Amino acid sequence: MDLVLKDMTCGGCAKAVTRIVTKLDPEAKVEIDLPTQKVAILSQLPEADVRLALSRGGFPPA
């Protein structure tokens, strides 16, 4: 799944996003492009679950 996270603005944010996703799915692959605020996530979890976790963590997908 590809998401845009407008509130992801620094390296610390990128690490937090990775932590949120891998806490849900330790096998998830997370690729972050910080300048464009895009995140590519490869996971077996439903996209709705990932979106909810990111929103609760302070990074609501656009």
User: Which CATH number fits the domain that encloses residue 14?
Assistant: 3.30.70.100
Question: Mind listing the pLDDT tens digit for each residue in 1-58?
Answer: 999 999 999 999 999 999 999 999 999 999 999 999 999 999 999 999 999 999 999 9
| Structural domains in the chain (count) | 1
- Tell me how far apart the terminal alpha carbons of the chain are, to the nearest angstrom: 13
Contact 32, 43 (CB under 8 A): no
32 and 14 in contact (C-beta within 8 Å)?
yes
In a domain, 47, yes or no: yes
Is residue 62 a part of any domain in this protein? no
Question: Which residues constitute the domain of residue 28?
Answer: 2-56
> Do the domain assignments include residue 61?
no
